[in-house]
Structure 1
Amino acid sequence: MSNTTLLVRKDRIADARLDESEDPALSAGEIRVRVDAFSLTANNITYAAFGDAMHYWRFFAAPQEGWGIVPVWGFATVVQSLHPGVAVGERLYGYWPMARHAVLRPDRLDEGGFLDATPHRRELPVTYNHYARSSRDPFYTPDSEDAQSVLRPLATTAWLIDDFLAEQGFFGARAVLMSSASSKTAYSTAFHLRRRQGIERIGFTSPANRAFCESLGCYDRVLAYEELPRLDATLPCVYVDFAGNADFRARLHGHFPDLKYSCAVGGTHVSALGGGSGLPGPRPTLFFAPAQAQKRQKEWGAADFGKRLVEGWNALRDRATDPARPWLRVQHHDGPDAVLAAYRRMAAGDTDPAFGHVLSLR
């Protein structure tokens, strides 16, 4: 079988191309899946932007030096199996390459899923190496596959950000400031933060996306980036940065002399990314969702952690897909050319936040 993969230049992540190759033969214990559908969001652009620093390029090896494969979340079907515990036809949710096919080496199987034990992935975070069997997945319903592809990984990160900040008592802050407020991870975070008493949710966005952010109802205030000076400089606040915009980060740190905490999450402003050294106030600290998840699993137990996470997901899914007032409308992009075009638009920031994009290279 032939495989089609989307490759991205590691040093210029807006530069992408399609690659055609022959699928390798399977070894004993391996399975081959057909990647049926996956989402493309600003979160995937963050994976590319932090590909070296956070090892995202290591999950799926690219065939050429200097190029990488951006990981994506979605659904796949087993089309060939040399593993006795995984049947052809099984439907799986998990972390895939932007490709038509993928090869996994299942390990530590149970009724709910398995880990990929491909050698180069063994030292990478378990969160990204786990594949859920849809037949036993508590998140899964057949009618919500599109919503799961688009929102589920972002919703998990958002839920964990909310949990982390609450665990820390919001570092003594009374407001959470969020950049890239129209991004799905940001508004999912604001959705979860709504249950926290005494914490104001303030989103920053571009003028073009302001009306959308205000329509969500999950922010107490929405400001354009240039309106930062309107905020009281004495407001005790934490900053959760989904944009990665170095200039805005510097202005925000300078505006709040007593900023309580600076949390770096994403890099949606690809052309404006930069480091956080030399800033006044707290040094920006990268939030790594798998670390918070593993901490809570140890403290609460895996079953209780999973129950709470599913409850959070169900609440967000129901609100985001409410037919009367949906936050999310799904667009499908099928075929290699459509996938390449969608990636280029996402990398350039040329997207409407009201839409979620589900892609397939088939």
Structure 2
Amino acid sequence: MKLAFKIAIRFLKSGKGQTLLIILGIAVGVSVQIFIGSLIQGLQKSLIDKTIGNSPQITVTSNTDDQTIKDYSTIIKELSELKKEITGISAAVDGPALISENNKNYSVLIRGLDLENADKIYRVNEKIYEGSKPTGDNEILLGRELKEELGVSLGDTVKVLTDSGQINELTITGFYDLKVSSINKSWMITTLKTAQNIFSLNSKVTGIEMQVKDVFKADTIAKEIDSKLGSNFKTENWKEQNAELLSGLNGQSISSIMIQVFVMIAVLLGIASVLAITVIQKSRQLGILKAMGIKDRTASLIFLFEGLLLGAAGAILGITFGFLLGYLFTKFALNPDGTPVVELYINAGFIGISAVVAVLASTLASLVPARRSSKLNPIEVIKNG
């Protein structure tokens, strides 16, 4: 085996130009794999972050007549202990209201949140661009668009009318921007206690919201939660509510895999054809080596080692090219504000698998010339030159 390895290195060195071309071919294939795969993964991550990254991925509501949840603290504790995949969980009180201002009526949704726990889901603290979050009773946050429509400032008060006919005066402590115009225009965020008082819910809530570690397992986790809570509760997950988004993400993944497979097939065929020619080119040397006593198995190993070495060198160079392509893409494909159109997602596992696949494909491609070399007859090769 050691002898075969040394001969393989010598063969590769004797045809440096050919060896370099094969390595570059493998490197291009690996770099395309890594670039396309990382680009699509980055696009998927960006879409998920923008659509469901700052929103609940699982929501529990009540099926009772009053559609409220009692003793929610106990339920939250049970759910937190039930599934370790849950990264954020918070109670919420939601209710519609009207604001009459400037001779206009504005329909809003009052959202009472446990602001400390809800921040793990909505990232409210980092989205406040002016003022601060509510801490006392009858204090609220308004969205950027609603602020502009109402023409209000910090410390101003707004009067809201609920469906029960009750009028409440609320003080503005800050303004947020969740980057979604419809939300900024309709949500009034306040504390859980204030919302419970406004809608006369005492210690009840209207929902329990959760985020999970792996968003694509949200439906499985939701089913387990649903079976745990029973028929008085309804459990929904983002995959049910975003079927079109999910279909688009699946389509992107399939497209990425298909492109990578065809690229690797092209690389594999190229290596096999070049190494097959090498067998012909080196047939005289192989014939002499066999006449000197080298076994057929050793002759085959020479080309297997060539394939392995070419694949390893190509994979290393391909990873470098892939990172370079990704870097250049983030510098030239920019939004008007200067941010990259798509943030590349560097997945070490994916890159490692791409490199291993390239090495294996190169080694497999060398099986054809390896088999051919083992069948060479040394007497005929030397005789015919």
TM-score bracket, shorter-length normalisation = under 0.3
Going by fraction, where is strand more abundant, 1 or 2? 1
Q: So what's the TM-score if we normalise by structure 1?
A: 0.19
Which one scores higher on RCO, CA 8 angstroms, separation ≥ 6? 2
Higher helix share: 2
